[in-house]
Structure 1
Amino acid sequence: MTAPDLSKLKIERSANTQLPGQRSRRRRWLRNGLIVLALAAAGAFLLRPGGGKVNVDTVNVAQAYPSQNYTVLNATGYVVAQRKAALSSKATGRLEWLGVLEGSRVMKDEVVARLENRDVSATLGQAQANVKLAVANLEQGQAELQDAQNAFQRASELLNQKFIAAASHDAAQARYNKAKAAIAAQRAAIAAAQANARAAQVAVDQTLIRAPFNGVVLTKNANVGDNITPFSSAADSKGAVVTIADMDTLEVEADVSESSLARIKVDQPAEIQLDAFPDLRLAGVVSRMVPTVDRSKATLLVKVRFLERDSRVLPDMSAKVAFLSKAVPPEDRQALTAVQPAAIVKRDGRDVVFVVADDKARQTVVTPGRKVGELVQVGGVKPGDKVVLKPDEKLKDGQAVAIAKK
């Protein structure tokens, strides 16, 4: 039996003949190799000097005051006027004239408003006329007294000469006594008329609203035409017309924790900073401590008087008070440029900081100075500059940085 020919069953294994699974594995290896090369290139770029951004923490260069070295306690409070008044009238009536606006300066006893007062003015005129009438009656009585006195003297002389009867002399004497009594009554009438005139004048004065002291108008609470009823709450009526304050009595009221009272005393120097004007620092002194503790807050009210005046200080402004161990010397009143000590590092034997600008860290040489609180005085940078906090030794001048989010 002839054996079968198996040569036709041979599998060709040439270089161009690959199974589908082998081709897929080769493509995956090629793709993974390209990804590794790309990552290596990116890493080399990020690690090269001055290359990719480095996350850094930053702080701002600040203005600091040497008085911080003398501060023993800080507190917050508000500016208040020790002397403040809401002006109204004792009388009730319609506001007829108002002569001030918010911000107007007034002097003591100056008329700032007037109520309608024609009725009481008429009463005053009548009372003054009664005074004049009483004075006229007195003058008439004095003339009658003089005539009665002369008649009595003549009657006395004629009686001595036996020319008239005693009855005529007695009648002259009675007339004289009656004239003297009329003078006393007329003087009393004048006093009564003057008292009535003064009462009428008081009623007129009560329609005039005067400033009790020198001050500035803070608020205007009523307008011309409003009904002023200071002792009631009638509908559509007003009590006070304006509110004024004596700006020379401004002070700061600050709440001090009960646990910190040992560090505060009367006449202790202080420094006042207003939130509205952060660069304005005014000298003050503890004027008094209210001898009552607020049980709900465990605080004591401390009042600090201004030793320095500034026209920009207004009532109800927020303020910070630094209680000092001693008064600030004149040479320490000016602000200094300062930064946190951790921002200053050594590079090539020099003190430098890295100022962040345009997303790059610029190495800047600085001159450290005195310590101001927790900061250090520096020269070479300006307030507001953003500098790197605790810069790494690998951080280079001009390197791109990204501010770390807190």
Structure 2
Amino acid sequence: MSSLPPFLSSPLSSSSPAFLLFLFVIVAVLLIQINRRTGSSPAAPGPPPARGSIPCLPWLPVAGSLPWLGGGRPGSQAKEVLLQKGRDFAGRPTMVTTDLLTRGGKDIAFSDYSLLWKRHRRLVHNSFTLFGEGSDLLFLCPVLSSVDALCVELLSGRKRGFDPSPAVTRAVTNVVCMLVFNTTYRHGDAELQEVIRYNDGIVETITRGGLVDIYPWMKDRVQKELDDCVGSERPVCLSDRSRLPYLDCVINEGMRIRPVSPILIPHIAMTHSSIGGHSVSQGTRVLVNMWSIHHDTEHWDKPDIFNPDRFLNDQGQRVIPPCFLPFGAGPRVCVGESLARLELFMFLSSLLQRLSFRLPDGAPPPNLQGRLGVVLQPLPYEVVVTPRAGWKNSV
């Protein structure tokens, strides 16, 4: 099954992306066994993916039908679920996989809507506000420290190609560890390897993917903007963000064309409600297909083409289209959005200010399809990293 509708709603028909893949595999195995026993021929290949389908999902046969609310307005329906009726659909279903990962829902993303959840979320949100706005220096020190360490480590490969994933993962993880535990991980740390396996790509996806999304001509344009607005005499500062509109658009386009979570964590109706005029019973699970929303031809011109200019108006000013929801929206919007955006800007701007990235000689372009796990992860690729002029003695 390669095509998923914008909304899938049924009390028993939906779950997390990882659990869906597991379910599809089980169904496929059962059908294969049945075919073998009955002597029937294999099923014919499925139809080509429809608009809004997720290419990294394999085609698999599905027994029975899945009730869904489709239509040609996935963006408006998503906003109805997430914003207009956000509290109606703020619940989370109980699932075996996420209960194991979160020790019975002891987190913010997967735990059900409750007074305890609201207190935990408020505590985390206030902490981000304190560090991000009330004390920039305190918050930026860990980020800048990780950026410096990452630049040094990436240059250790010098003229040979290598996979940047381990270095990027460690750098992004260390920001959170310094803020929360006042400690960092070093290369080869056993505990870090366990964290990486546990998260299955969560911490590396956005930043590592950012290195893929910089096409050569686009990289040159971003670096020219950095050279003109910041120069090579000092590192990039958070205050430079307003003067780097194209870099910001590149980040947004990366989150649009390859959303970290192609299918949002399942919501559950906490009361009898409706979506697009269709009645939805209490307890119904609702999945929002963010991939479909971010690739809807009604709102995005040539959505499969990486084009940061779609986030600029005719006057060159930044605009945010109403159907751009990389972190979700409403009561269940990602609580770490402000931290993620700050890290994306600081990491990507600093790396492109100081370093140049290219493919190894003779290497094919990276495959941008991605691999779906807990989140959508970039496929492995290699880069060659060299210092830019003006930074050869600084990194």
TM-score, length of structure 1 as denominator length: 0.18
TM-score, length of structure 2 as denominator length: 0.19
Larger helix proportion of the pair: 2
Larger strand proportion of the pair: 1
